[in-house]
Amino acid sequence: MSSNINRRTFLGTAGAVSATTVLAGCAPAMGMGQAQPNLDATIFNFALNLEYLEAAFYLAAVGRLQELDAVGGDSSKVILPAGFTGMNGDGVKFSSADVRSYASEVANDEMAHVRVIRKVLGAAAVTQPTLDLGPAFAAAGNAASKGAITGFNPFANDLFFLHGAFIFEDVGVSAYKGAARLLTDMSAGGNLENAAGILAVEAYHAGMIRTLLYQQRNTQVTPALKVSDVVQAISNLRDSVDGASDMDQGIVEGGASNIVLADSNAIAYSRTPRQVGNIVFLGVNATKGGFFPDGLSGDFSKILAL
């Protein structure tokens, strides 16, 4: 596991941005002589909340949730489905060794993201909030399917795990893309470059999940819904809460594969922190709920208003 983490620690050594840089004052924006507020630390702490969530989800899926504690998380603050611990091997009973391997790799990546962002932020890093990976998924599944799927549990089997992962991955990509314009440190190896590095990893994850779901697009999840229908329903749910824009897509478009989520120019979509919040809280303009029942750790009023 350590070798997996080390080769992905792109914020370490020469590429690292120190906490001093993250917490610096105002910096010139794009060399135009105008200064924009330095919100880098706030943005990275917002991202850290999301990375706690993703790390907890994937670690629980592979029965390694206890490892979250070693990188600064708190496994005791993770709500899981009844009877499921996500620890010490009690993970998804994967029928596919390949899917389990993919899940373990992503768990390593997300755990590394938590560790390295906390290292960059230093004493300014927020603690992990309470994370809901049980009832929140059931609520999301019920809302997305309009009652056709009740009690959705992403840890029940391979296919449900992939649906659960789909809820998060595209959101992470659009969140990092949207944050790019708000970052002030554009130096080599600085905040913008490193955020782009995380975005790239999240995009690999999203493409992998979308591909695996596409391969099973015609599998029946319920008598009335195929995998492609459920994925589209999740996409529609995200679109319904993240604002007026239509920036989400399922895995099938016009009868063809739609693995890469992008606009007509093949550019990834951007979401504002407010739009991301709407999705993870499962409510428009909410400040808590959904996957963060008590809200995020930290004050994000400045960026949620952007």
CA dist 283 and 281 (Å) reads: 5
The pLDDT of residue 18: 43
73-86, pLDDT tens digit by residue? 999 999 999 999 99
The pLDDT of residue 34: 59
Whole domain around residue 214: which residue ranges? Answer: 2-304
Name the domain count of the chain.
Answer: 1
SS3 content of the chain, % helix, strand, coil (to 5): 55, 5, 40
CA dist 189 and 76 (Å) reads: 34
Helix (H) or strand (E) holding 67: none
Cβ atoms within 10 Å of 14's Cβ, excluding its own: 6
> The whole model's pTM is what?
0.88
Could you identify the residue written with the tokens 């690999």?
A: 204
The pLDDT of residue 189: 83
54-80, pLDDT tens digit by residue? 999 999 999 999 999 999 999 999 999
Q: How many CA atoms does the CB half-sphere of 180 hold within 13 Å?
A: 18
Positions in the chain whose pLDDT score sits under 50: 1-33
CA dist 215 and 102 (Å) reads: 15
CA dist 93 and 254 (Å) reads: 34
E-state strands within the chain: 27-28, 35-36, 78-79, 131-132, 252-253, 256-257
Strand 27-28 to strand 35-36: parallel, antiparallel, or no bridges (unpaired)?
antiparallel
- Residue 44: CB partners within 8 Å, gap ≥ 6? 22, 117, 120, 121, 191, 195
